[in-house]
Amino acid sequence: MSFLTRESLLVDSANRNNQNLLLMVLTGAYGGYTNEDVNNALIRAAINGNAGCVSLLLDWNADCDAEDMDGDTPLMLAACNNHIEVAQQLLRAGCGVNRVSDRQRTALHMASWVGNSKICKMLLQAGADLTIQEMYGDTALMLAAHRSPEVASLLAREGPQVVNMKNESGDSALGCATKSGHLQCVQDLVDAGADVNSMNRLGETALLFATYENHPNVAQLLLDCGADPNIATKSGLVPLHIACKKNLEELCQLLLEGGADPDFADTMGQRAMTYAVANGNTAIISKLIQAGATPRYQGPSLFHRRLVIMSPLYKALLDKRLDIARVLHRAGSCSQSELFEISQCEDLHSELEDTVKGKEVLGFIKEICSAPASLRLKCLQRIQSILGKARAKREKILSLQLPKPLISFLLFEDLDK
């Protein structure tokens, strides 16, 4: 072992948990050493969970708050490596429980990140501060909400005052838990006072995250707890837009039942219907129409609304989706003037005339453009103008003393029959 320096020998013995050799080095069997050598040995022992070496080094006055090159202390290193006994030793030695690393993380941040509830409890009992935020603004609760729902629930109960704190992106712990789909953690955060309608800097809510990540059970819980499905991001997107864009039928149904406006338009005038038609999802299209969605394009200006190529019906025709086109037409997707524009659109006709399916679509265009608006269509349009849209319309219709087939007719539930 003569090739090792005294410093490397001290660190190596602590690293390998060789307590006898460590004691020999400490007692001067291999010459002198510095306090820095002892502190470095303590750091290595803490990383590897060598409790015997930690105890010995603390007895030899090693600094329990010594820092490695990243500013991490032995307590932080023990916490992030799940060494419970070493963490206990360091706390008994009086180490600083709220010391921060170069990344502004505490031992509680690290224990929360790895999901060690036992160490988290020890740190809280020792006075760990839940409000400390690391370099990106995350609290220990936020880190736990991402990865460890059990720890997040513990921290939420212990520190309800931090539940609605936000990081640099404006996300709260609830948003973090929702992205990861931790249902019980979401419930515990709400019980601790989390704001279900809190928005980050982009205007995104927990409900939007639940929709984007396809967590219908979490979305239902948020709706039951008062989440507003019509809060839009800065670009005007609402959860229903996301559900339609990603073809998430179950979430579309949940959101519509939870009060989502089927006609909510983003900053470019795109609505849920636009996204559903683009994806060719007849089930979602029918759900939207049954919820009172207007099948016509409603752009941000009169100029946009006059562009027939922006209409859902035009998109369905261009994609040769006759099934969707029929549903949209029956629901009143275009005025007679717009139908006339479709019939005269040379680009559309040239796109369709070269295939058998395209010729079928051209035949359908000729049929709908030459026929007068049906009595049924006029009836349905008039009913919607009188009764309103979405949930209010549905409740009014269901309250009417009418035969079931008529109720189904008024609710647009016979669209696919």
pLDDT > 70? residue 328: yes
User: pLDDT band at residue 4, thresholds of 50, 70 and 90?
Assistant: very low
Q: What is the pLDDT of residues 176-209, one digit of tens each?
A: 999 999 999 999 999 999 999 999 999 999 999 9
**Which CATH code of 1.25.40.20, 1.20.1440.230, 1.20.120.550, 3.40.190.10 fits the domain covering 195-294?**
1.25.40.20
Query: pLDDT digit string (tens) for 206-229?
Result: 999 999 999 999 999 999 999 999
Query: Rg of the chain's alpha carbons, rounded to an integer?
Result: 32
Domain chopping of the chain, boundaries: 195-294
Spatial CA neighbour of 217 closest among 263, 244, 248: 248
Task: Give the highest mean pLDDT range of 23-27, 61-65, 307-311.
Answer: 61-65
Q: What is the mean pLDDT of residues 317-330?
A: 82
CB 140 within 8 A of CB 155: yes
pLDDT score of 10: 82
Contact 272, 240 (CB under 8 A): yes
* Residue (of 143, 221, 209) closest to 183 by Cα position: 221
385 pLDDT band (50/70/90 cuts)?
low
Mean pLDDT of the chain: 86
- For residue 298, pLDDT over 70 is answered with no
Residue 381 reports pLDDT greater than 80:
no
Q: Report how far residue 367's alpha carbon sits from residue 236's, in angstroms, rounded to the nearest whole number.
A: 37
Q: Which residues contact 17 (CB under 8 A, 6 or more apart)?
A: 45, 48, 50, 52, 53
Q: What is the predicted pLDDT for the residue at 26?
A: 84
pLDDT confidence bin for 413, thresholds 50/70/90: low
Q: What sections of 344-412 are H helices per DSSP?
A: 346-352, 356-370, 375-387, 390-398, 404-410
* Residue 238 burial (10 A CB sphere; 0-12, 13-18, 19+): buried
Question: Taking 50 as the threshold, does the pLDDT of residue 1 lie above it?
Answer: no
For residue 237, what is the DSSP state? -
Q: What is the dihedral of CA 124, 129, 130, 134, to 10 degrees?
A: -130
pLDDT surpassing 70 at residue 171:
yes
Q: How far is CA 153 from the centre of its chain?
A: 18
